[in-house]
Amino acid sequence: MRIISWNVNGIRAMSRNIDEDSLLLLFQKLEADIICMQETKVSRKSDVPEEILHVDGFESFWSFCKVKRGYSGVVTYVKKKLTVNATVAPFNDSKYDDEGRIIVTDHHDFLLCNVYFPNGASGEVRRKYKLDFYTKFEELCQSYVNEGRSVVIVGDVNTAYDDIDVHKTPEELGLDFQYAERIWMTRFFELGYVDVFRHFHPQVMKFSWWDPKTRKRRSNLGWRIDYCIISNDYLDRTHESDILTEQYGSDHCPVYIDLDIGTVPKHKTHNLSSEYKRQKQSSIMDFFSIQPAPNKKRKRDQLDAGNPTVKKKKNNTSNF
C-alpha cells in the first residue's frame, strides 16, 4: 500500500495548478491507495466541487474548520473497502477539534492520522496553541498504542526537526530556532515513533516546502516539514518513504510511505464517507422506482396502436 501526504495549500487551487487533468489521473500517477491532504481551505462539503468530492474508485473523508472560513481543513481519500471506521473529532475537545486539523481513519491493521499541525509563527498565542496541540496529539497517539493499535501519522508537522531538514546553517537559524518544537519531536520519537524518511535516508538533504514569496523552490532552498511517522511496531512492514520533489501544484510537494497491510474485513460504509450519502440516496431511489407490469405495458401499447380489441379500464391503483 502507498500512502501519500500533501499540503495542497487550497485543494481547489491545487486541482487547477497540477498538470494532470483530474485528481484521478493524479492519484494514478502517484500510485496511491490513500491520499491525505492538508490545508484544503474549504469550510463545508457544499463548497467542494463534485469532481473533487467524488473521485472514481475512492471515498473521501473531510474535516472542516468551524472557527474561520477558508482556513485549515484536511481530507483523506481512500480506495473503497479499505476504511472500517473514522473520526474527525478524536480529541473530544472543541479547542483542538474545531480547526479541522485531523482525521483518524481505521484500516484494520493500523490507525491513520492525517494531521495539519498549527504553524505558530504569527505570535506567542498561536505558538502556545501549536505546542499544546503537539501535547494533545502525543496523548492521543499513546492512547491508541496502549490499546494495542499500530499508528501511522502523516501530514504537515510545521517543524524542521534537524539541521539537515532546512537549507540554512545552524548559525543562520539561531540557537532558538524552533527549539521547543524540536524538543517535543525528540520526545515523541523516544516514545517509540519513527520518522520513516530519515530511517531509510539518514544523510539525504531533501525538502518538502519552499517559501513561495521568495521563489526559493527554483534554487531548492527549502524545509522538510512534511512527515510520515509510524509506531515502532509497524516498522518491519514498511518498505520505503520518500519526497516527491518533482510534483508541482502547491508550495509543498507530496511525501509518501509504502507498507504492507493485511486483508480488511467486510464492513459497512462509514457515515463520514463521501459515498455514504450517495449509497443512501441510491437505495431510496431503488425503493421508490416503479416498473410497470409487462401485461399492463403491453395493453397500453396496444391501445396506443388503436387496437379495438383491447378495452381501456379505469386505473384506481396508486403508484406507491
Catalytic positions: 156
Task: Collect all residues with Cβ–Cβ distance below 8 Å to 103 and sequence separation of at least 6.
Answer: 36, 61, 62, 63, 74, 75, 76, 86, 87, 88, 113, 114
Amino acid present at 311: K
Answer whether 264's CB lies under 8 Å from 82's CB: yes
How far is residue 72's CA from residue 7's CA, in Å, rounded to a whole number? Answer: 10
Helices first, then strands: H and E counts in the chain: 10, 14
Hunting for cell 530556532 — which residue is that? 177
- In the chain, what is the straight-line distance between the N-terminal and C-terminal CA atoms, in Å? 47
Hunting for cell 494533545 — which residue is that? 136
Other beta carbons within 10 Å of 60: 22
**15: which 3 cell numbers?**
486541482
DSSP 87-111: ES-TTS-HHHHTT--EEEEE-SSEE
Q: How far is CA 53 from CA 90, 125, 167, 280, in A?
A: 23, 34, 36, 16
How far is residue 272's CA from residue 289's CA, in Å, rounded to a whole number? Answer: 27
